[in-house]
Amino acid sequence: DARVTQTPRHKVTEMGQEVTMRCQPILGHNTVFWYRQTMMQGLELLAYFRNRAPLDDSGMPKDRFSAEMPDATLATLKIQPSEPRDSAVYFCASGLVEGWQPQHFGDGTRLSIL
Amino acid sequence: DAKTTQPNSMESNEEEPVHLPCNHSTISGTDYIHWYRQLPSQGPEYVIHGLTSNVNNRMASLAIAEDRKSSTLILHRATLRDAAVYYCILRGGNAGNMLTFGGGTRLMVKP
């Protein structure tokens, strides 16, 4: 079965450092999503790409977060500078654009900012 | 926002059927009803979806009310591996293409 691949699986770093999370969507999928999960807020949508173009990033703190798709096989989520409140599990998902199509999630990146 | 309401938690015995309810009274005619589940330490996993008719797949069944204001996910024989948080989500149409996760229902399965 094709899978969404996220790297790294775990990341521990100090406050102020740059963090880059990567996602390889399933080949042929034309939508990519970034979600963040914390105990307090649950699963929140951060960014949404369709055909590599950003369609919605209203859930993302713009001053420190950025999301890009340099090509169809790679999506990145960067945090600079990182803060302890960014500690969370970050999930990437990919799918096809039709509303009935399922999203396929990666196993997530567990981020801890000290 | 097209919202859903689910019980916070439910308990089931192993090998018994489980009915997980979801209310979505503001659903629009073009919104699909999706169910996802999240096992511990994993990403969400697609379970099933439907529009108007009841649906079956290898994981579960989805029963949709005639007025579409509620639905029920049915696990026919719960196993310990089905212990997870189950999310009912509206997608497409007025709900937009994104998934908006609520709190979901935490299903506990007792041996």
For B25, how many CA atoms within 13 A lie in the half-sphere containing its CB? 2
Q: Which of A63, A69, A79 is nearest to A113 (CA)?
A: A79
Q: Which residue numbers of A have CB closer than 8 Å to B's CBs?
A: 4, 31, 33, 35, 42-45, 48, 50, 56, 91, 93, 97-100, 102-108
B80-99 core/surface letters (b: 16 or more CB in 10 A; e: else): eebbbbbbbbbbbbebbbbb
Please state, rounded to an integer, the average pLDDT across all residues of chain A. Answer: 94
Chain B positions touching A107 (Cβ under 8 A) are: 42-43
* Max intra-chain CA distance, chain B: 41
Q: Residue B1: its pLDDT value, please?
A: 54
What does pLDDT average to in each consecutive run of 10 residues of chain B (111 residues)? 87 97 92 94 95 94 97 96 96 72 94 94
Reply yes or no on whether the pLDDT at A50 is more than 80. yes
Q: Number of CB pairs < 8 Å for A and B? A: 55
pLDDT-derived band at A93 (thresholds 50, 70, 90) equals very high
Q: Residue B82: its pLDDT value, please?
A: 96
Closest chain B CA to residue A94 = B98
